[in-house]
Amino acid sequence: MDSKFLKIDISSSPHVKRPVDVKKIMRNVVFALLPVSAFAVYAFGISALTLIVTTTFFSVVTEYVIDLIEKKESTVGDYSAVITGLLLGLTLPPGFPIWMAALGGIVSIALGKYLFGGLGFNVYNPALVGRGFLQAAFPVSISTWHPSFQADRFTSFFSSNLAFPFAKPTVDSVSGATPLAAFKFEQKSTEVANLIFGQTDGSLGETGGLLILLCGMYLAVRKMLDWRIPAGIFAAVILLSVIFNLINPEKYPSAMFMLFSGGLMIGAVFMATDMVTSPVTSLGTWLYAIMIGILIYVIRVWGGLPEGVMFAILLGNSLAPIFNILTKPRVYGTKKAGAK
Amino acid sequence: MANSFKHGIHPPEKKEISADKSIKRFPFAPYLVIHLAQHIGKPAKAIVKEGQEVQRGQKIAEADGFVSVPMHSPATGVIKKIAPMLDFDGKMSPSIIIEPHPGSDQNVLVGREVEPDSLTPEEIVKAVQEMGMVGLGGAAFPSHVKFSPPKDKPVQTLIINGAECEPYLTSDYRVMLEQAKRILRGIKIVMKALGAKETIIGIEDNKKDAAQVLKDAISVDDSAVKYVKVEVLKTKYPQGAEKMLTKALVNKEIPSGGLPADIGVMVSNIATVSEIGELLPKGQGLIERVVTISGKGVDNPGNYLIPMGTPLEFVLKHAGVNEKARHVIFGGPMMGKSAAYLEMPITKGASGILVMTEEEHAPKKQKVYPCIRCGECVNACPLFLNPSRLGILARNDEFDKMAEDYNLNDCFECGSCTYVCPSNIPLVQYFRVAKKVLREGRQRKQQSIAG
C-alpha cells in the first residue's frame, strides 16, 4: 500500500474561491478615481495636483505611522488609505491652502478611521470626516471658489494655496461661485451641458459629472460597487426635482441641474458606496440610498447651505446599522423576520 | 424564466472537463476496502470470515437495525482481512478487505428477480434496504429510511435532484443522458413506496440536453407521462440543496429544524433512483457507482463506473494523475472533503473525485482582512442568514448567541459565504467549529444528566 507517490495538501471546503479580495477591490476603486483626479488636474492645474497628492500622501503616512505606533502589521498595502486621500482631495476647492489639506488627510485617517478601530470598523466615511473637520475649522477657505480653466493653471498656484499655517486666510480677488451657490443665492442657473462636461467652478472632483458616472459604471460592472446606492440617490433626487420643478420652475431647479451640480455625482458614486459605512442588506441599501437622496434635496433647497451631499451621506452612515436591523431578512424556513 | 431560489452564487462551472465523457467501466484494483460504516447510522455487521471466497454481488455484511444498510462484495475474490482501516476522519474504522481474483469472469451473482408492481410499499422499503442503497448525492443516508416518512406526514411530491449544482461534477448529467429508462423505473418504485402523487425532476439549465432526454423518455412512457415532469432550473449554486429545490420547484420552505416530509415532499438524488430502477427488480445490491474524476491534476478526466472500495491511489493512477496534482477531494469543490490519505476507498457517497492543482484550488495562504461589511455573504447566503455577523460572533466564541439569535443551526454549510468573502474570512469553517462545539456541549450535558 505504497501511497507516497503523491504529496497532497488538505483543506477545509470550499476548495474554490472567488478571485476577488479587499486589496483588489480597493485597487480598482483607486483606478476608477484616477481619471476623475486627472480631470481635476486638467481643469484646475497644479493647484489640484498638489492638493490631491498632499491629501493622499498624508492619509497614507498617517495610516503607516499609526500602525507603527500600535505595533500592527502595516495596512497601507490594502489601498484603502489611498482612496480616502484621493476622495478628500477631490472634495476640496481648488484654492484651498495646502497645509490645511495635509491636516485634513491626517484627521480623516486618525479620527475617521483609526479612532473606530481601523478598516471595517469605522462608522463614517473617513474622507467625509476629514472634509467635515475642515469645513468646521476653516469655513472661509473651504467655501472660497476659484474658476476652472485659468490660462496659467499649469504654471502657477492660486495664491491662497500657499497660505502659511494659521495665517489669516487671504481672499483672492478673483473668486467664483459654484453653480449651486449661484442658484441658491443669486438665482442664476448654469447650463446643464457645462455641468455634465465639467466646464464650471466647484470642488476639484465635482465638476466632471459624466466622467464620474463612467468611472462608477466601470466599478459596478466589475461588481465592486453597489449600483443600488447611486441609483437610489439619483431616483430620489430626480423624483423630488421633477415634482417641485413642475410646481415652480423659478424656485426649484431641474433634475439634470440637481444631479450634475455640486458633489452629488462624486458623493453618490464614490462616497455613499463605501462598503464599510453602507448597509449590507439589499432593502437596507435602497432605503439608505433613497434617504441620502432626499436629504441632499432638502438641505440644498430648504437648508442654509448651498450643498448638502456631505451631511446627507454622514447622516446616512449613522443610520446604516439601523437600516441593517430594520431590514433583517426572514431566515429560510422560519416564520418571523430574523427569528428573534 | 427558469425556476430558482433567491441569493446563491455563480462559481465557474468547469463541467466541460468531463461532461462529454460517457460512463466507462473502471478496472478492478488489486484489493478493495469496504468500510462497514460508510453510511449514516449504525455500521453494517460482517457476515463473512477471513479467507472465505465471495462472488461479486454477494452480501458480505448485514444491516444492524433499521438505520443501517448491508454491504455487497464488489468483486469475485477472497476475503483477505477483516480489520480496522483509516476512514475519512482519520479514525480506524472496521472494514472488509477483498482481493479480487484476476482470472475471474466477474459475473454478478444472480439475484431473486422481482416485479416491482407486485410489491407493497413496506416490501419496497425492505428491498431498498437489502440493496444497501444510500443517497448517492454525497450524504450517504440510507434511502429506505427516507422512503419511510412518519405516517402523519404523507408525501405528495417526490422531487428528483438532477441539479448537480457543484462545479466540476458531471456524473448525474451522464446518468440522465444514459440511464433515462432506469430513472423512470426507479421513480415509479420510490413513488409507490412513498404513496406520492407526482414527481418533479429538477435540472439546471446548463444541462438542457439531459432535461430533453428525460422529457422524451417520459413522453413515450404511458404511466410516467401522467405524473412525472421535468423542470428546468437556473444554474446557480446551491440549487441542488434540498431546501433550495423545494423552494424552486414547489415554492415551499422546509421549516427550520424540520424535514421535507413536513411540507409533503421527499427529495432524492437522480443517481439514487437510477440505481434503484436498475438493481431492485434484479434483486441485486449496490456494488459500484458512477464517479466523476476531474480537475487539472488528472490527464484522463471522465465519468467512471467504479467498484466500491477501490482505493484512491488506484483511482488516481488509472485516471492519469500528473505531477501538478496537489489536492484530492471527495465530492465537489464547494462541499467536498479533502482526502488526507490515498489508501481511502471509493464509498457509496463519493459522487466525484477532484484532483486539483495548486492553481485551480483556492489559495493556500490568504491574507485575512477585517470584515468590510460589503454584504457579499449576506447576499450569497441561500438561507438569508447573516454570515458576516455570525463570523464576528464566532471570533468572540459567542456560540450560544449564534445558535439562538442568528439561526446557526439552519446553516447547511454550502460554503457560499466563504467563497465570496473578499476579506478571506473562513466563515463556513467558523460555523462548522461552532456547531461542533455546541453539539459536544449538548452531549456532555445529556451525559451528565444521565450519569
Residue A218 has pLDDT above 80, yes or no: yes
List Cα–Cα distances, B428 to A34, A188, B423, in angstroms: 37, 58, 13
Q: Which of A16, A334, A340 sits opposite B405 (nearest CB)?
A: A340
Residue A1 has pLDDT above 60, yes or no: no
Residue-wise pLDDT tens digits, A27-51: 999 999 999 999 999 999 999 999 9
Residue B273 has pLDDT above 90, yes or no: yes
Question: Which chain A residue has its CA at the smallest distance from B254's CA?
Answer: A333
Q: Which of residues A206 and B356 earns the better pLDDT score?
A: B356
Q: Which three cell numbers, joined as nine digits, stand for B277? A: 430502477
Band (B228; pLDDT cuts 50, 70, 90)? very high
Band (A4; pLDDT cuts 50, 70, 90)? low
Instruction: Give A322's contacts in chain B (Cβ within 8 Å).
Output: none
Q: Where are the domains of chain A?
A: 21-175, 179-327
Nearest Cα neighbor of B302 from B50, B39, B25, B62 is B25
Band (A340; pLDDT cuts 50, 70, 90)? very low
* Contact yes or no for B321 and A8 at CB 8 A: no
Q: Which three cell numbers, joined as nine digits, stand for B142? A: 440510507
Q: Which of A5, A18, A330 sits opposite B420 (nearest CB)?
A: A18
Per-residue pLDDT, B156: 95
Pairwise CA distance, residues A75 & A84, whole Å: 13
DSSP code at position A140: T
List Cα–Cα distances, B140 to B72, B143, B216, B348, in angstroms: 16, 8, 30, 6
Least confident of A62-66, A193-197, B48-52, B103-107: A193-197
Mean pLDDT taken over chain A: 89
Question: Which chain A residue has its CA at the smallest distance from B354's CA?
Answer: A15
Residue B277 has pLDDT above 80, yes or no: yes
Nearest Cα neighbor of B388 from A83, A117, A276, A27 is A276
Q: Which three cell numbers, joined as nine digits, stand for B249? A: 420547484
**HSE toward the beta carbon, residue A305, CA cutoff 13 A:** 17
* Contact yes or no for B372 and A280 at CB 8 A: no
- Secondary structure string (H, E, C) spanning A232-270: HHHHHHHHHHHHHHHHCCCCCCCHHHHHHCCCHHHHHHH
B351: helix, coil or strand? coil
Specify the amino acid at residue A228.
R
Residue-wise pLDDT tens digits, A159-192: 788 887 876 655 554 556 677 777 777 777 777 7
**Mean pLDDT, residues B286-305:** 96
- pTM of the model as a whole: 0.92
List Cα–Cα distances, B211 to A332, B201, B230, in angstroms: 28, 9, 7
Residue that the C-alpha cell 482582512 belongs to: B369
Which residues are CB-neighbours of B132 under 8 A, at least 6 positions away?
B44, B69, B70, B71, B72, B285, B286, B348
**Mean pLDDT, residues A192-208:** 76
Residue B113 has pLDDT above 70, yes or no: yes
Pairwise CA distance, residues B247 & B3, whole Å: 9
Which residues are CB-neighbours of B34 under 8 A, at least 6 positions away?
B60, B61, B71, B73, B74, B95, B96, B97, B98, B308, B309, B345
Per-residue pLDDT, A175: 54
Cβ-Cβ pairs closer than 8 A, A with B, add up to 172
DSSP code at position A271: I
Per-residue pLDDT, A192: 74
Residue B441 has pLDDT above 80, yes or no: yes
First and final C-alpha spacing in chain A: 54
**ipTM for the assembly:** 0.91
Residue A196 has pLDDT above 80, yes or no: no
Instruction: Give A281's contacts in chain B (Cβ within 8 Å).
Output: 375, 378
Band (B447; pLDDT cuts 50, 70, 90)? confident
Residue B451 has pLDDT above 90, yes or no: no
In B221-331, the DSSP E strands lie at: 228-233, 265-269, 288-294, 302-307, 325-330
Residues 298-317, chain B: which have Cβ within 8 Å of A?
A: 311, 313, 316
Band (A98; pLDDT cuts 50, 70, 90)? very high
* Contact yes or no for B428 and A18 at CB 8 A: no
Per-residue pLDDT, B151: 86
Mean pLDDT taken over chain B: 94
